[in-house]
Structures are given as structure tokens and as C-alpha cells.
Amino acid sequence: MAKLVYLQFSRNQISDLDLEEQHIQSLLNLEVLKSGEQGWTQHIDLAPLFLNFTLDVATEFLYGRSVNSQSAHNPKINEGHELDSGFSYHLDAGKSWLYTKGLFGRWNRLVYSPQLTKHCKEVHRFVDKLVVGRLNQPAKLNADSDRFCLLNELAKSTQNPLELRNETLQILNAGRDTTGALLGWVFYFLVRNNRVFDKLRGIILTDFGRDRTGEIIFEKLKQCQYLNHCIQETLRVASVVPINERVCTSDTTLPRGGGEDKLQPVFLRKGQRVLIVNHAMQHRSDLWGPDVDEFKPERWEKRIAGFEFVPFAAGPRKCIGRKSWKLIS
């Protein structure tokens, strides 16, 4: 099933921007983003708005139906659509408890909360409703539709509701928060670096025009190299996924990292956890230069990163999001 999920992230699916466009328009039309008399908006925290946006896009991609979490905060938008119904709240609250359990490592079973059980139950109920609804409509599952839906594709290989729920939730959890956080960090660095902001704004106005309704297609986005460099630099400096983890499946030896000089072999026992600290690696001056802490997209103009830059991890267990990133970078 994992291989099937990976295959669905093809260029044809990822390069279709129509799905994102409707949710971008919902974001831009939120009342809190409307400018006042002097042309400025009120002070607003963009982070929850980006998380709502990425949740709406992710659920539409996965289930063929958005939870419309943005509409829950502005009923004037997308009138007639079913609202969030608390899904985003239970999803976030449940993940917060899972994070707490994760801090206890092998002792996480000692952490019990009836609230976690409640949140998981509500998330499962919501997703199960979507899954069962699709399975009960075989005509939609087999129809050739212009709009891609991962659930439809997976259902062609299995009709197991539990398996479909788990596979789609896995992708939702992995993709929604990381993408929302990345958007937030991009804006964070742009507003604090006037030179980068002005340069990127000038390029975008030249390539895509000043009108909000200007044509934005996948090929033009791919050719906008400075935009891609800004995103890469954000992933490096902010380290959206600051740490990764692996567990040894057998006794093994790493070729270096031990001894006083850190160049000697390191023995690892079976079952031992290995933490890969991306944030530390991406802030090493010996790898990135003395300006390592500076937000500098230009560093990517002539650089091809190796294993010193693995925001999507590497190897057979790397994040499938890396496949979509390689299509535009």
C-alpha cells in the first residue's frame, strides 16, 4: 500500500493547481485579511490561517472533499458547503497529546488521557464517514474524473475501510502541519529581510503580473528559481522538521562519529534509537560557511545539496513529499 501511495504523487497530480486555487481564494477573502482605510490589515496571526488552508487542500486531495475549515471562521465564504464540524480541533488536540506521549519514549504507554481517546475517536469518525461514503458509491470510484482523489485510487486496490482510513490519515498528519509551518516561516523571513522581499516581489510581478487573477501555471512556478531558492533557504534555516528518528533493526556500526575527534566508528545495538538532528546539521558553519545563520536564498544559485540538507530525510523511508519537491526545484 505504501508503494501505491508513493506512485500517486506523480507530476500530473501535483502540477494541477486548480485544487489549491479555490482554497487560496478563500484564504485571501477572509475578513481578517481585508485592508482598512489606510490600506493595511489589522494585526493578525497568520499561522492558524495557514494551517486551516493546508488542511482544506489536504482533505480535498485525499478524500475528494474539503473539510472547509476556513469557512468555519468565515461563514460568508463557500456558503452551502459543510463546515469543519470540529475536525481540525480534534485533529490538533489529538496530535498534541500524541506529542506528549512521544516525549516519554518507550514509557509512552504510561501516559493515558481520556481526552486523547475522545479526540482520536472524533477524528476516526469523521474520516470513516468519508471513506464509507466513497466505498458505497462504486460509480464514483471507477469514473474517470478530472479531479484527482487519493482515496479513489487507493480504493481500487483495497476495500478495507480501516486500511484506507489509516493510510490517508498518515499522509494528512505528515503533510498538513509541515506545509502550514513552512508557509508561516517563509512569511516570517520575508518580512524581516527587505532585500529578499523586494527582489522576490519584483520577480513575481514580472513573471506573473500585478493582477491577483493573473495566470499561474506549474511550468511558470518551476521556472521561478528565486522563489524556489527562498523556500529551500527557509527549510534550511527554520528546519521545519528539525529532527528525525530511526531505530536499528540489527547491530550495526556507523563509519564515523565516535572518539574525541568524532571521526571514529560508532557501534549501535539492535533496537537503539538514532536521532538525526537536521537543524544542527543545517547550521554548521563548516558545511554552509560563516554566514550560516543568515537568511540568504542566493546561496542556492550554484549549490547542489547532498546529505547535509535532507529536509525530507533520505533512503527508502524518505518522505514522499520529496517527490513533489523535486518536480519544482
pLDDT above 70 covers what percent of the chain?
A: 83
- State how far the Cα of 183 lies from the Cα of 189, in Å rounded to an integer: 10
pLDDT tens string 83-104: 456 888 899 999 999 888 888 8
Q: Which long-range contacts (CB under 8 A, 24 or more apart) does 27-32 make?
A: 27/52, 27/53, 27/70, 28/212, 29/74, 29/77, 30/70, 30/73, 30/74, 30/77, 31/74, 31/76
Q: What is the pLDDT of residue 327?
A: 43
> Which of 193, 227, 192 is CA-nearest to residue 208?
227
pLDDT above 90 covers what percent of the chain?
A: 37
pLDDT tens string 6-43: 555 555 555 667 778 888 888 988 888 888 777 788 88
Domain boundaries, the chain: 1-35+43-190, 192-242+277-329
Question: Any idea which fold 1-35+43-190 has?
Answer: Cytochrome p450 (1.10.630)
Q: What is the pLDDT of residue 125?
A: 92
- Whole-number mean pLDDT of the chain? 83
pLDDT tens string 210-265: 765 557 777 788 888 999 999 999 999 999 989 888 889 999 999 988 898 889 99
pLDDT tens string 184-212: 999 999 999 999 999 999 999 998 887 65
Q: What is the pLDDT of residue 42?
A: 85
One-letter amino acid for residue 56 of the chain: D
> Which of 292, 188, 172 is CA-nearest to residue 240?
188
pTM of the model: 0.84
pLDDT tens string 263-317: 999 999 999 988 889 999 999 999 999 999 999 999 999 888 888 898 887 777 7
